[in-house]
Every structure is written in C-alpha cells, then in structure tokens.
Structure 1
Amino acid sequence: MPLSIDFKAGDKIIINGAVIENLGSNSKISVHNQAAILRGKEVLSAEDSTTPASRIYFALQCAYIFPQNLEEYIDAYQKLLDEYVEACPSASEIAEEVRRLTDNGQLYKALKTTQKLIQHEAEIIGSLQLDLDDAAVEDEA
C-alpha cells in the first residue's frame, strides 16, 4: 500500500537522503516502494541538536537517512544513549524501547520514540529550573 503524503507549499521532506522542497502549491505525493522518509517537522539539524537527547535523535536520524553510514551512526547513537541513561536513569524505560526498535531495524519508530526521550529531558530540565528558582527565592528571604 503506497504512503500518501500531503506536501504543502514551502514544505520540505527527505526521501532516501534527498531533500525535496515544494516550490508550488499544495500537493499530494504517493510513495509506492520502501523508502526512508522524514517530513520537515521531523528533521533535526546538527546545529539544533544541542541537548543530550537531541543528539541521540540526530544520530538515529542520520542512521535512517544515510544507510551507507549506518554502522558509524548506530555506534554514535549507542554511545550517546548509554551516557544519557547513566546520567538520567529515570529515562531507562524509554531508552530500552529505543534500543529494542533500533535492534529490530525499526529506525523510524525508534526516532518517534526518541521524541519521548527529548520530552522527558525537557521535563527534567524544567523541574531542575523550578528547583533553582525556588532556591534563589529562599536565598533572597
């Protein structure tokens, strides 16, 4: 069954490593065979991968889009994920799901699950910021 993608004016998608941009009006495309596809909103640039979880996402994204360098990117992802779980054990359950999907070759699903890791990281950072803000208020009192 083909994958149907709404392709809005100005949107970009990556198909098998090629960046495709819609320069015209809204359209719909149909992909009839197996392909590595990421919509623009799913793509993370190297410059934007500034946190540990986003670096994991970026390494997996590269493994998915550039299968000719799969081993290199998987090695990087595994190292980053190991370091992340060591520093943030509360993310172990999400990390194990990412590992399972990656080990089974389901890189797109692993990317989607890594988004949960990024969300978890944001919640932890937000919680730490609240703790810092509370400590600053106590110091002022």
Structure 2
Amino acid sequence: MALKVELRPGEKLLVGNCVITNSDQRTRLFIEGQAPILREKDILTAATADTPAKAVYLAIQIMYVEGDVEKLTKSYFELINEMVRAAPSTLTYVDAINNEILTGDLYKALRAAKKLIAYEGELLGNAATGGNGIPEDRTTDCGP
C-alpha cells in the first residue's frame, strides 16, 4: 500500500537523501517503497537541535535517513545518558525511544522522540516559572 502525502505550496519533503520542493499549488503524492520519508516540519538541523531532547531527535533522524543505527550509537547513548542524569523523569520516554530503535522502527522512534521534546518543553517551562520541574501526571506514562 502506498503512502499518501499531501504537500502545501512550497512545502518540502525528504525522500531518501533527496529533497523534493512542491510548486505553487497543493500536491498529492503516492509513494511506494522503503525509503525514509520526512516532511519539512519534522526535520531538524544541527542549528535547530538546540536542546538535549532535540539533539536526541537529530541523532535518530540521521540514523533513519542514512539507514545506519551503528554510526551514531555511541553519540546517541551519550546524549540519552546525560539527559536521564539531568532529568530522571525522562527515563520513560527514553525507554520508549530505545524500544523502537531496538525493533528497527526508526520512524516510530522519531515519533517517540517528539514526545520527549514536548516533555522537555514542559520541564523547562516549569523550571522557568519556579515549578518543581515535573509536569503533573507525566512521570509514569508516555502514552499518546
């Protein structure tokens, strides 16, 4: 079954190592095969990976696009170990990401990493407002 992707005017899409830029009108593509695919909104660069969770996402993104988990394994584990030491409440999110990587589903690992980024934002928001740094009802489950 083909993946259906609808692109807004000017939107970019990464397919494998190629960037596709849509023209000035809405486009619908049907993609078949086993290439890594990311929408522009889901792509981070070294410049935009400005927090620990985003750095984790970037490492997984590179693994996904290049199809090479081994290449960044050491760097990835250094990043997550630092994160868990600094914020132990992130362990549930990190475990979910690791499970997806271990099963070979890097796209799902990216989705789990987005949840980690959102949680990190909550932690940073609480720290900025003087909270305890742990968002309510988020320490034991990283559900939807």
Shift of 1:101: 0.4
Deviation at 1:38, TM superposition (A): 0.3
SS class of match (1:50): coil
Instruction: Report what 1:80 is aligned to.
Output: 79
Letter matched to residue 94 of structure 1: Y
Q: Could you list the per-position Cα deviations for residues 1-26 of structure 1 after superposition, in whole angstroms to 9, with x for gaps in the alignment?
A: 10010022100010112111112421
Quote the sequence identity (%).
Answer: 32
Structure 1 stretches of at least 4 aligned residues deviating more than 2 Å after TM superposition: none
| 1:67-97 deviation per Cα after TM superposition (whole angstroms, max 9, x unaligned) | 2x43222332222112111111001111100
Letter in 2 for 1:16: G
Q: In the TM superposition, what is the alpha-carbon distance from 1:131 to its structure 2 partner? A: 1.1
Q: 3-state DSSP class of the match of 2:129? A: helix
Larger Rg: 1
Higher helix share: 1
What one-letter code is carried by the residue in structure 2 that aligns with 1:6?
A: E
The separation in 1 between residues aligned to 2:31 and 2:71, in whole angstroms, is: 28
In the alignment, the residues of structure 1 paired with residue 91 and residue 39 of structure 2 have an alpha-carbon distance, to the nearest angstrom, of: 28
Residue 41 of structure 1 deviates from its aligned partner by 0.8
The question of 1:58 aligning with 2:46 is answered no
Counterparts of 1:1-141 in structure 2, within 5 Å, are 1-67=1-67, 69-131=68-130
Equivalents in 2 of 1:75, 1:28: separation in Å?
39
Instruction: Say which SS state the counterpart of residue 64 (structure 1) adopts.
Output: helix
SS in 2 for 1:131: coil
Looking at structure 2, the residues matched to 30 and 17 of structure 1 have their Cα atoms a distance apart, in angstroms, of 18
- Once residues 38 and 73 of structure 1 are traced to their aligned partners in structure 2, the CA distance between those partners, rounded to angstroms, is 19
Q: Secondary structure at the match of 1:90?
A: helix
For 1:75 and 1:107, the matched residues in 2 are separated by: 16
Q: Secondary structure at the residue paired with 1:105?
A: coil
Matched residue, 2:135: none
SS at 1:115 equivalent: helix
* TM-score between both structures, scaled by the size of structure 1: 0.88
Give the unaligned 5+ runs of structure 2: 132-144
For 1:106 and 1:28, locate their aligned partners in 2 and report how far apart those are by CA, in whole Å.
25
